[in-house]
Chains A and B, each alone.
Chain A
Amino acid sequence: MNPQITFREIDDSNLASVAELLARGFPKRRHEFWRRALNRLTEHQPPPGVPTYGYFMEAQGIPVGVVLTIFSTSREGDALTTRCNPCAWYVDAPFRAYAGLLFAKAVAGKNVTYVNVSPAPHTLQMMEALGFSRYCNGLFVAIPVLTRASGARRAVIFSARREPSVSFDPFEQELLARHATQGCISLWCATTDKAYPFVFRRRWIGGLIPCMQMIYCNAVEDFVQFAAPIGRFLARRGAFFVIVDANNPISGLFGLYRHGSALKYFKGPQRPRLGDLAYTEFAVLGI
């Protein structure tokens, strides 16, 4: 007998069983991690009219597959666009034939830019079939504290809890504040005329070495320009390394480029820029 299999949008009543499924699918993380992750999605406040959590596959009333979706509003120039990071995609083995359709349903919006920031190698062929293109080929492991200060611009680094006394962008202020509530380190780097936003997430290289992952900056060039003071700020918090998405070695930054690591894909109208992982699974869920 074939059980009736359906796709449904996740709602508040499914959270416990979806967390259980995620813990089964990603056993390196416990059930409590996934409950917290889903709670963060509850607090995340996506744009109106899109799923809060994502979709799940159900067989005879039991969740057997899931894909989470993190929708957000991003800005390119003056235009606001909708972005979505589908993540935590898992389907129990007997139902895996429909896993691709579940994912396809999650990325079916026409005016949405979808970013897949952690594609499993065996899914790349499917990503490309669904119209995803690679936009990030590797990562740069920087040691900003060893980067020589460039130019003569003085900069002060401080937490985003403080409002800069110089010009800043309110959209970015909100972005910093929201990421701080999600456990990221949100900073302003203020010069005499303008404040530049930066968001980092603490991670561990090989599970041992503390580092920071660049979640958001206005432009990678900003990070290069202020690497020395930011590096000192982060080093005082125990992190000497910063991981930055890159397609080449980053000129002016001390560190090492690794080609072929941390590939990232997108599909949709707005090609993501390097240095912008805002509201992705790294930032919101802490994956």
Chain B
Amino acid sequence: MLEQRQSETTMAVLNIVRDLLANHGFDAPIGLDDNLGEKGLTSTDMVSLMLSVEDKFNVSIPDREMRPANFRSVSAINALVCGLLTER
């Protein structure tokens, strides 16, 4: 059950990232641990990513979690979201 939810979350985050990169014409494959900044996400994209994650999973990212490490890669965002969903 938990694994299934994590997998769904991962896919959803991955899709958000792919959509953001597609806006810049990038369609290279993305690994779960790839550095999203290095993959081409801009500053505005990172904010869009944060807001999209909040919308998609109906969570509010608290101030203490707003740090670069949590948005560095798809796995990091996934861990953040799963943690917030568990806290709920």
Q: Using CB atoms and an 8 Å cutoff, list the residues of chain A in contact with chain B.
A: 2, 4-7, 57, 91, 95-101, 103-105, 108, 125-126, 129-130
Contacts and interface: CB of A to CB of B under 8 A. Distances in A.
Given A100-B46, A101-B50, 19 more contacts: A6-B67, A7-B68, A96-B43, A97-B42, A97-B43, A97-B46, A98-B37, A98-B46, A101-B43, A101-B66, A101-B67, A101-B68, A105-B66, A105-B67, A108-B63, A126-B43, A126-B44, A129-B47, A130-B47
A128 to B, nearest CB: 10
B71 A101 contact: yes
A6 B43 contact: no
Given A2-B35, A129-B48, A129-B51, A97 B66 contact: no
A99 B37 CA distance: 11
B17 interface: no
Contacts of A100: 43-47
B69 A99 contact: no
A203 B67 CA distance: 38
B interface majority secondary structure:
helix
A108 B42 CA distance: 20
Q: How large is the interface on B (under 10, 10 to 19, 20 to 34, 35 or more residues)?
A: 20 to 34
Nearest to B51: A129
Contacts, number: 61
B81 interface: no
A105 B68 CA distance: 11
Interface of B: 35-37, 41-48, 50-51, 63, 66-69, 71-72
Contacts of B63: 105, 108
B68 A5 contact: yes
B41 A97 contact: yes
A186 B48 CA distance: 42
A95 to B, nearest CB: 8
A101 B46 contact: yes
Given A2-B35, A129-B51, A7 B46 contact: no
A125 B66 contact: no
A104 B66 CA distance: 8
Most chain B CB within 10 A, of A6, A99, A100, A130, is at A100
Interface centre among B42, B44, B51, B72 (most CB of A within 10 A): B44
B27 to A, nearest CB: 19
A7 B43 CA distance: 15
A59 to B, nearest CB: 9
A5 B70 CA distance: 10
A97 B47 contact: no
14 contacts: A2-B35, A5-B68, A5-B69, A6-B68, A96-B42, A97-B43, A101-B47, A101-B50, A101-B67, A104-B50, A108-B63, A125-B44, A126-B43, A129-B51
Contacts of B48: 129
| Top 5 A-B pairs, shortest CB-CB distance | A97-B37, A100-B47, A100-B43, A5-B68, A99-B43
Contact of A97 (B36, B50, B67, B69): B36
Nearest to A96: B43
A95 B37 CA distance: 8
